[in-house]
């Protein structure tokens, strides 16, 4: 489970500074609770500039707090995060709506989009606000079709604590990541040593979450074919969103990289002894630089092999 601060629950509605201080104190307390259970509370960098009362922005309101509280809040919102937009799944082109309001590029929209793609993201909302209800229903309009998703929302500490007690423990090692990936993504075929080179590096929880997001996307992409082996509308959308453009999650290596690192990009075939696969296509995690190399192209009647999950190979 991942937790996102509902940025729409901060909309200048606080009657005075004291009311806002009580609200931000509750959120900070919920952030501590999340950490106690091994989870992070993600925010969006825009929250640092939100309007909290009719006359005060977030930085102006926080200036009235005692110094230690000022530093703790602003370091979280502006420096340390973590920030969910850095590993977002939905794009600005996705049309997401809640109660007649467009929620694209908000935590509400992101949490809903993720729920459809198997990534569990819940919301934490400010109180008092107009977001004190759960679940939150979000409509995703795509290709003339409407899909509705229910997003879990918390605004009280005890409700969050009860939910986290019942949730499964977060991943805490590369070994555990490998076990979860092999169990969860059954439409991918992993090499026996796919994750081996991760083990010599320090575990990074944020990178672990991004790896799972990338593998989840590959797993869905592998299933997006009709009975004739033709890619479906959903598959075309995944391809456009994540395999093309400057911000693509998955790309091919450059021609120079293929020439220079030909041997490094050639892997033993996971199922055929004595055979090899050249896998220059890869998914990207940037902090730290981790790559997921897989077979290409993706076809309905062929396995999608994940042959490598580890540090970037094509380093110069």
pLDDT tens digits for range 48-75: 999 999 999 999 999 999 999 999 999 9
Higher pLDDT pick, 181 / 87: 181
What is the predicted pLDDT for the residue at 93? 85
What is the predicted pLDDT for the residue at 142? 79
Neighbours of 88 (CB within 10 A): 17
Kindly state the percentage of the chain with pLDDT values over 70. 100
Distance CA 156, CA 33 (A): 11
What is the predicted pLDDT for the residue at 246? 86
pLDDT tens digits for range 132-185: 999 999 998 877 888 899 999 999 999 999 998 887 777 889 999 999 899 889
What is the predicted pLDDT for the residue at 310? 97
What is the predicted pLDDT for the residue at 119? 78
Does residue 107 carry a pLDDT above 80?
Answer: yes
Query: Does pTM surpass 0.85?
Result: no
3-state secondary structure the chain: CEEEECHHHCCCCCCCHHHHHHHHHHHHHHHHHHHHCCCCEEECHHHHHCECCCCCEHHHHHCCCCHHHHHHHHHHHHHHCCEHHHHCCCCCCCEEEECCEECCCCHHHHHHHHHHCCCCEEEECCCCCCCCCCCEEEEEEECCEEEEEEECEECCHHHHHHHHHHCCCCCCCHHHHHHHHHHHCCCCEECCCCCHHHCCCCCCHHHHHHHHHHHHHHHHHHCCECCCCCECHHHHHHHHHHCCCCCCCEECCCHHHHHHCCCCCEEECCCCCCCEEECCCEEEECCCCEEEEECCCCCCCCCCEEEEEEECCCCC
> Could you give the angle at the alpha carbon of 241 between the alpha carbons of 235 and 242, nearest 5°?
90
Distance CA 308, CA 292 (A): 6
What is the predicted pLDDT for the residue at 76? 93
pLDDT tens digits for range 213-247: 899 899 999 999 999 999 998 899 899 989 998 88
pLDDT tens digits for range 272-285: 999 999 999 999 99
Distance CA 276, CA 270 (A): 8
Confidence of residue 44 (pLDDT cuts 50, 70, 90): very high
What is the predicted pLDDT for the residue at 171? 87
What is the predicted pLDDT for the residue at 204? 92
Does residue 117 carry a pLDDT above 80?
Answer: no
Q: What is the mean pLDDT of residues 100-128?
A: 91
Does residue 86 carry a pLDDT above 90?
Answer: no
Domain boundaries, the chain: 2-166, 174-311
Q: What is the mean pLDDT of residues 250-265?
A: 96
Crossing angle of the two packed helices 157-166 and 17-36, in degrees rounded to 10: 10
**For residue 143, what are the CA distances in angstroms to 93, 95, 221, 287?**
12, 10, 17, 34
- Distance between start and end Cα atoms, the chain: 37
């Amino acid at each position: 489970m991942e937790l996102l601060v509902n940025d729409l629950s901060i909309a200048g509605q606080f009657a005075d500074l004291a009311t806002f201080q009580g609200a931000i104190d509750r959120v900070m307390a919920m952030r501590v609770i999340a950490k106690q259970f091994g989870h992070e509370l993600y925010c969006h960098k825009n929250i640092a500039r939100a309007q909290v009362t009719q006359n005060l922005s977030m930085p102006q309101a926080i200036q009235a707090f005692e110094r230690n509280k000022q530093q703790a809040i602003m370091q979280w919102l502006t420096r340390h995060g973590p920030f969910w937009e850095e590993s977002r799944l939905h794009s600005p082109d996705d049309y997401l709506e809640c109660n007649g309001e467009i929620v694209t590029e908000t935590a509400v929209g992101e949490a809903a989009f993720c729920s459809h793609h198997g990534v569990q993201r819940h919301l934490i909302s400010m109180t008092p606000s107009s977001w004190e209800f759960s679940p939150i229903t979000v409509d995703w309009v795509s290709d003339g079709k409407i899909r509705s998703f229910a997003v879990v929302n918390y605004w009280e500490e005890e409700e969050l604590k009860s939910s986290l007690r019942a949730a499964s423990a977060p991943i805490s090692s590369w070994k555990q990541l490998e076990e979860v990936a092999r169990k969860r993504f059954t439409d991918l075929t992993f090499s026996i040593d796919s994750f081996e080179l991760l083990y010599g590096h320090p575990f990074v929880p944020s990178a672990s979450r991004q790896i799972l997001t990338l593998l989840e996307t590959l797993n869905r992409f592998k299933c997006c074919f009709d009975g004739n082996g033709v890619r479906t509308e959903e598959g075309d959308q995944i391809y456009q969103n994540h395999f093309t453009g400057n911000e693509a999650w998955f790309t091919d290596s450059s021609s120079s990289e293929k020439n220079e690192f030909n041997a490094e990009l050639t892997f033993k075939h996971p199922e055929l002894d004595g055979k090899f696969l050249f896998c220059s296509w890869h998914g990207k995690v940037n902090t730290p630089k981790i790559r997921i190399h897989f077979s290409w192209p993706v076809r309905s009647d062929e396995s999608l092999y994940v042959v490598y999950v580890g540090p970037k190979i094509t380093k110069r």
